[in-house]
A and B are shown apart, each in its own frame.
Chain A
Amino acid sequence: MCHAPSLLRVARRLTSSSAADDLVQDCLLLAWRGFHQLERGTNARAWLFRILFNTFYGQGRKLRRVPEAVPLTPQVSSIAPVVDDSIRLSSALDTLPAEQRAVLLLAAVEGFTCNEIAGIMSIPIGTVMSRLSRARQAMKAHLSAGVTRPRAAAAARKTR
């Protein structure tokens, strides 16, 4: 249960708030049922996140909320003041394609390694690396240009 806030934090960035609550409930219940399958020495937190993503995909959901493509050129020098703006950071995150947002959350916020993320999301590590690179490039681009699209993000969230 101590990992519920982390799971909820990621789930709410993947899907709507109420669906995220259901998703985390399902995830924790499945983990309780399958606790005997957890081998000693296994990273329990990564195991829980893997269940979260398996449940998410298993319920026929797909990572969505792909925003309109916004070709931007990063201007690194302008990023420093922007990263202090939590609203703009959060909005920039929301404009990322969901697959990129998921790997960035798992890496930057939850502190998982690329290898662990590959296991959690059941994708090759090369895919994790490329998604992370693209996610960080996109974040840089949005923040350096000062472009955030809260309305687009909100609209996209409603479609989930």
Chain B
Amino acid sequence: MNCSELAILTPLYLAGELDPKQSEDFAEHLNVCQTCARDVSTEQVIDKALRDTILDEPIDASEVERQVRASIRAESRQRVMAALAIAAVIVMAFVGNRVMLASRAKVIYAAAANDHLREIVQKEPRHWRTDENDLSRLLSSQGVSMSVANTIAPAGYHLAEGRICILNGRKFLHLVYADAAGNVSVFLRQQTPRFASGGVAAFASEHVAGVQKDALTAVVVSDESEASALRFARSIKAAL
């Protein structure tokens, strides 16, 4: 190592950053070169004197720290307020969505009850599919298999007839299940808009209950009790 190389490496030496080989070469040169040894020693003295001088200067950071703490408190409050505002928006959106879904369910239930009353109770003339083959084709056209249609039949009921009807502007598959005492209407639709399912409502003498599973919606209309309508709907959901 010569004097120029030593001068370049001196900052690393003073910071203790030389690798072992460089340190050895550095020390070797200092042993043989008085000029470099004096220069390095002087720099060490200056560094130490500078450190002592600067560190002796009084520094009062209390006002800065106070200001920073005040800023942090204010910003923390703002963050809490922002989080609360976001939470409030989420809650409102959730509640709004539930209200909208409930409202949509009410409209569909009312339309289903009205359809059932006119077509089944009052027996307004409609073109019903009663033949098994016709029914099978009708079901297939709506993405429902005959086995599913039979599986969802309320206990003691059998599939009697079916047709396409419109509830609240949307096409539904209207299936009528019969037993000796009466009829139960089941309205099925694939990819229906979501509504608050699981509820039950009364319209005139009929009780309506709805369920949704995956993309399939089923609305049951029965002149039996609310509990029966709900039980029919739940059994359909379990069977789907």
Contact = CB atoms under 8 A, between A and B. Distances in A.
Chains A and B form a bound pair: yes
Interface of A: 1, 4-5, 7-9, 12, 21, 24-25, 28-29, 32-33, 74, 76, 79-80, 83-84, 86, 89-90, 93, 104-105, 107-109, 111-115, 128-129, 132-133, 136, 139-140, 143
Contacts of A107: 11, 14-15, 47
Best-surrounded residue of A84, A86, A112 (most CB of chain B within 10 A): A86
A113 B16 contact: yes
B61 A83 contact: no
Given A29-B68, A108-B50, A114 B42 contact: no
Nearest to A112: B15
Interface stretch (B51-59, B209-217, B231-239): B51-59
A108 B72 CA distance: 32
Question: Which 3 A-B pairs give the minimum distances between C-beta atoms?
Answer: A83-B49, A4-B61, A108-B47
A71 B47 CA distance: 21
Contact of A84 (B15, B49, B54): B49
Contact of A133 (B7, B38, B61): B7
Nearest to B67: A25
B49 A89 contact: yes
A66 to B, nearest CB: 19
Contact of B38 (A12, A25, A76, A108): A76
Contact of B55 (A32, A109, A112, A129): A109
Main secondary structure of the interface of A (DSSP, over half): helix
Interface of B: 7-8, 10-12, 14-17, 38-39, 42-43, 45-57, 59, 61, 63-65, 67-69, 71-72, 75
B17 A29 contact: no
Given A25-B71, A28-B68, A139-B50, A83 B56 contact: no
Contacts of B12: 114, 129
9 contacts: A25-B64, A74-B42, A79-B45, A89-B50, A109-B50, A114-B12, A129-B11, A133-B11, A136-B47
A52 B14 CA distance: 24
Contact of B15 (A7, A74, A114, A140): A114
Contacts of A93: 50, 54
B64 A4 contact: yes
A114 B47 contact: no
A42 to B, nearest CB: 18
A132 B46 contact: no
Contacts of A25: 64, 67-68, 71
Nearest to B17: A113
B17 A132 contact: no
Contacts of A128: 11
A77 B96 CA distance: 85
B114 to A, nearest CB: 59
Contacts of A76: 38-39, 42
Best-surrounded residue of B8, B53, B55 (most CB of chain A within 10 A): B53
A9 B57 CA distance: 9
Nearest to A83: B49
Given A83-B46, A89-B49, A140-B43, A133 B8 contact: yes
Contacts of B65: 1, 4, 28
A113 B15 CA distance: 5
A114 B54 contact: no
Best-surrounded residue of A32, A33, A105, A108 (most CB of chain B within 10 A): A108
A109 B51 contact: yes
B50 A8 contact: no
B64 A8 contact: yes
Contacts of B68: 1, 4, 25, 28-29, 32
Contacts of A115: 17
